[in-house]
A = this chain, B = another copy of it.
């Protein structure tokens, strides 16, 4: 496809794979809407999505079989079997060469913003994991796995969404879970029933929000256990928190990144779900059943 392309012979690996995926990405703009659907499906599950039958492929992409056919024809294949053969061969070649695994670190893409941003976020995740004390993580898991505890999630302006995310999962895994809005007017009255059996999981990163701090301080005063997910500079809530899990948040953006907090949240959800599996499983099944009934 590319003798017209740049001859910037950068000493490519012996197998300079003109991956079909790459070509599709480049030609993406010139595709019709249906073709784009097909392309997206294929790229997102590359190359396995293309190994099924045309009908299956088309249906998953949300298009008709003929459109799928036109898509592969447009890519230069003589038919669907030809297309599949190419995918298989490419896959085999790639699997046999261990270095192909490293991935195309091609900066030449049109969205350097996205790829450099993601590298920064990945760095944050690694740093976050490294700096978490295993015992602390473990302690939080144990705390959240105790069915007798009441768990309340809360957060600030931006982190509130993370608290909701956590709550929506834990609510299914176990009982006695809720979400508390940050504004004092909304939680003042609920505080009367917060006590030693309660756990507050608070999300708070810089530009620490006073109302969240106030909530935690009040709850702590009443004997609740506070778990804090925050940034490395530690929200003032840390002073009243029993457990603190800090996450790195600096990204090449005018905003902080919450990916590290989300990682911790999801890891907590995963681990607690595993630990409470005996009781969580029937609950999850029940939710599933309700879903399908409504459908």
Contact = CB atoms under 8 A, between A and B. Distances in A.
Contacts of A101: 98
Contacts of A138: 109-111
A6 interface: no
A234 B43 CA distance: 12
Interface stretch (A58-66, A72-80, A187-195, A215-223): A58-66
9 contacts: A10-B285, A62-B238, A62-B239, A117-B266, A121-B266, A161-B162, A253-B273, A255-B270, A259-B266
A164 interface: yes
Contacts of A248: 44
Given A28-B133, A263-B259, A252 B270 contact: yes
Interface in A27-45: 28-29, 36-37, 39-41, 43-45
Contacts of A88: 48, 51
Interface in A68-111: 88, 91-92, 95, 98, 101, 103-104, 109-111
A233 B59 CA distance: 11
10 A-B pairs with least C-beta separation? A111-B134, A110-B134, A44-B232, A253-B270, A161-B165, A110-B138, A44-B246, A161-B164, A28-B133, A118-B129
A186 interface: no
B126 A114 contact: no
B236 A253 contact: no
- Judged by DSSP, the binding face of A is helix
B252 A262 contact: no
Contacts of A244: 36-37, 40
Nearest to A254: B273
Interface of A: 1, 8, 10, 13, 25, 28-29, 36-37, 39-41, 43-46, 48, 51, 59-62, 88, 91-92, 95, 98, 101, 103-104, 109-111, 113-115, 117-118, 121-122, 125-126, 128-138, 141, 157-158, 160-162, 164-165, 168-169, 207, 210, 231-234, 236, 238-239, 244, 246, 248, 251-255, 257-259, 262-264, 266-267, 269-271, 273-275, 280-281, 284-285, 288, 291, 294-295
A153 to B, nearest CB: 11
A88 B95 CA distance: 13
A24 to B, nearest CB: 8
A134 B274 CA distance: 38
A232 to B, nearest CB: 3
Nearest to A247: B44
Contact of A267 (B113, B164, B284, B295): B113
A1 B41 contact: no
A114 B129 contact: yes
A218 to B, nearest CB: 18
B270 A117 contact: yes
